[in-house]
Amino acid sequence: MFVLGHVGIGPRLLGPARHRLPARWLALGCLLPDLIDKPLFYALLWAEGHADALIRGSRSVAHSGLFLLALIALAAVGRRAFLWALAAGVATHLVLDIAGELITGADPDSSIWLAIFYPAMGARFPRAHFGSMLEHLKLTAESWYVVAGEVVGAALLFRAYREGRKAQSS
């Protein structure tokens, strides 16, 4: 998971619009696809020793365009700021995942596009090329894109924290 990158960089992709959204819900939205899909994948691995035929990786249901469209529809109908914040956060999550794949590449069977355009590109989600959480963490830690994103995200969060503290003391 790309926690600091998604929470630190993601909201900045929204520009000034991020200030009109509840920050906590926006942060949750930035992480929501991973908070849903990764435990789902690992639970299937643990329960069955392998993921089922549909969910074979850590990017599935919540990384899909259908999930994002459902959140947008809920936000439009419910007219609640927290729903718009969740949808905006999920959108930035997908953008950052796409950027990572465009920069570092991906095997066709593990492409984020399979999840985003599910089921238009076939009735399957991307396949993981790791068989355990430990192996996943190791591969993630070896990715320069993820490490750089975590550093930049941490710096942005720290800067926002300092600016908030400075504003409170004024």
Q: Which candidate, 162, 41, 159, 44, places its Cα nearest to that of 110?
A: 41
Based on the number of CB atoms within 10 Å of its own CB, is 14 exposed (0-12), middle (13-18) or buried (19 or more)? middle
CA distance 35 to 30: 10
What single DSSP character describes residue 126? P
According to the model, what pLDDT value does residue 52 have? 61
According to the model, what pLDDT value does residue 89 have? 98
According to the model, what pLDDT value does residue 92 have? 98
Q: Where are the alpha helices (DSSP H) in the chain?
A: 3-9, 23-48, 65-78, 81-104, 112-116, 133-141, 144-169
pLDDT along the chain (170 residues), means of 10: 92 96 97 96 79 80 97 94 97 96 88 94 88 88 92 96 84
**Quick one: tokens of 58?**
């850590």
CA distance 37 to 94: 13
What single DSSP character describes residue 130? -
SS3 of residue 59 by DSSP: coil
Which residue do the tokens 């969910």 mark? 55
SS3 of residue 120 by DSSP: coil
What single DSSP character describes residue 57? S
According to the model, what pLDDT value does residue 129 have? 85
According to the model, what pLDDT value does residue 6 have? 97
Which residue do the tokens 């920050």 mark? 23
SS3 of residue 51 by DSSP: coil
* pTM for the full predicted model: 0.91
Sorted by where each begins, the domain ranges of the chain are: 23-158
CA distance 113 to 120: 10
Based on the number of CB atoms within 10 Å of its own CB, is 96 exposed (0-12), middle (13-18) or buried (19 or more)? buried
